[in-house]
Chain A
Amino acid sequence: MAETAPFTIEQFYRFMSQGKLMAAQCMECGKIMLPPRPVCDKCFSDKLQWKELTPKGRLETYTVIHVAPPKFQPLTPYTVGIVRLEEGIRLPGMIKGVELENLHVGMELEIAFDSSLPSEWPAWPKYYFKPA
């Protein structure tokens, strides 16, 4: 059950594989935490609830990676950025489907979910951003 699921990074990615962008919200002070944390880093409460966020927002900053670790080198050049979601929370990720000359700060992007859930650690699906 979503409400009782642990407030962990593992659980965040499990939700992502189900097509849901979920953050933890502190029921004491209201802080929204993405990634979720088991204890609120603002008021230390562990009374938390899951809050589904709108999976779209605006690009705050970006870069195009040309030199990467071995696992990512075949993908180069690829674009990564940080998106400010509608609720004001930020999430980093790859950006696909945008021509380099069209990339700009402030552009609208939405999350493309990945439903695969690898069986070995780290079991984290590779969501990415695409034009809204």
Chain B
Amino acid sequence: MKGKPLASIVSAGLSKFGKMEGLYGRELFAQAAKEAYERCPNLDPKKDIQALFIGHMGESYEHQGHTGATAADWAGLTPIAALRTEAACASSGVALRVGIMAILSGMYDVVMVGGVEKMTHRTTPEVTEFLAMASDFPFEQWHGITFPGLYALMATAHMHMYGTTEEQLAHISVKNHYNGSLNPKAHMQKVVTLEKALSSRVIAWPLKLYDCSLITDGASCLILTRPELAKKYTDMPVHIIGTGHACDTIGIYERESYTTLKAAKLAAKQAYEMAGVSPKDIDVAEVHDCFTIAEIIAYEDLGFCEEGMGGRLAESGETRLDGRLPVNTSGGLKAKGHPVGATGTAQAYEIYLQLTDQADKRQVKDAAIGLSHNVGGSGATATVHIYRRE
């Protein structure tokens, strides 16, 4: 079983990420689907795609629920089986996992997985309120704890326990903005200096504006098939060789530690074991940097460094595009943007590009094994996937 492909990605699509004035979520999803169809001329979407699993966090943004059918409709895929998965910011990481299971079950030969969120037409306080719905209502939201607030609680604890600094947090921001400047689909495509990141206004101390991911509109998708059918559709499939998924208490206050996400550690362990690889085998990774502290904790949870050393790894430069282990080559949630429901499969999209040598200026040379890490809420859900090139 170790290292055996579970399912193969034969195509992928991503809408432009950003403030997509006047475009609704379903329209962004249609853009992502069109790109995936065009990348894979051997595939007849209407004939071949048998099911759609789509991650979408909230109906509040667009006053629109029932996303499975809506997205299938706008992607021209009716009347296939279509289903929405919801796990806050990990909604499409979970959709990917469900798609893999659907392929492994033998029920379907080809499925589409994806995600979508339309956010920028709402005010920042409204978005803050909608995002907070993924946290505990009676004890967190009720007492004014926001999403940046939850990650700020982790940051304060990490700084207190390990001496992590605000400057180390800012290094994540500078790196991811640089990567985003090379990604034509990123929401923000300009570099940010350490000074600018450090002097930006406070959102939830110690997190500042440049520690927070962007409120973004976007959609993403992948087309999966059984590994033995992959070559029918493309010469360059990417194989998914490991998947992990775990949950934790909804309230951060009930966890043993605020400086590690147990669900992410467990999901990583499952994925590494299934793939038969270890952290040192990873050539490129997309991790869930909803806040800079989240990327630092991800380094530790994924085994890229020892516990407590994430801040030092951030400032060492080893996770830059030219480093030993490039992380968030897409720009991450920080610069590419974080349309929450779309993020999990958007991370997989970047890994797909990297492992098929299509990442252009962001290409990591000879990348063979990739990893994506998608977190829901303050860590109550996490998924980790491991991929390898053909």
Contact = CB atoms under 8 A, between A and B. Distances in A.
- Same complex for A and B? Answer yes
Given A67-B124, A68-B128, A93-B143, A62 B156 contact: yes
Contacts of A124: 138, 142
Given A63-B153, A124-B138, A69 B145 contact: no
A126 B138 CA distance: 11
A94 B143 contact: yes
Contacts of A6: none
Contact of A78 (B144, B203, B258): B144
B254 interface: yes
A69 B129 contact: yes
Contacts of B132: 69
A92 B128 contact: no
Highest count of chain A CB atoms <10 Å: which of B144, B152, B202: B144
A110 interface: no
A13 B128 CA distance: 25
Contacts of A78: 144
Contacts of A13: 138
Contacts of B148: 65, 67
Contacts of A62: 153, 156
B125 interface: yes
Interface size class of A (residues with CB under 8 A): 20 to 34
B143 to A, nearest CB: 5
A29 interface: no
A63 B293 CA distance: 13
Given A35-B138, A68-B128, A82-B252, A61 B153 contact: yes
Nearest to B152: A63
Interface in A48-92: 60-73, 75, 77-78, 80-82, 90-92
Contacts of A70: 125-126, 129
A9 interface: yes
B157 A61 contact: yes
Contacts of B206: 63
Nearest to B133: A69
A122 interface: yes
B233 to A, nearest CB: 45
A78 B144 CA distance: 9
Contacts of B126: 69-70
A91 B205 contact: no
Contacts of B124: 67
B162 interface: no
B129 A35 contact: no
B201 A122 contact: no
Interface in B129-188: 129, 132, 137-146, 148-149, 152-157, 160
11 contacts: A35-B139, A63-B204, A63-B205, A64-B204, A69-B126, A80-B144, A81-B153, A93-B143, A122-B137, A124-B142, A126-B142
The 6 nearest A-B residue pairs measured at CB? A63-B152, A69-B129, A61-B157, A64-B205, A72-B144, A90-B253
Interface of A: 9, 13, 35, 60-73, 75, 77-78, 80-82, 90-94, 105, 122, 124, 126, 128
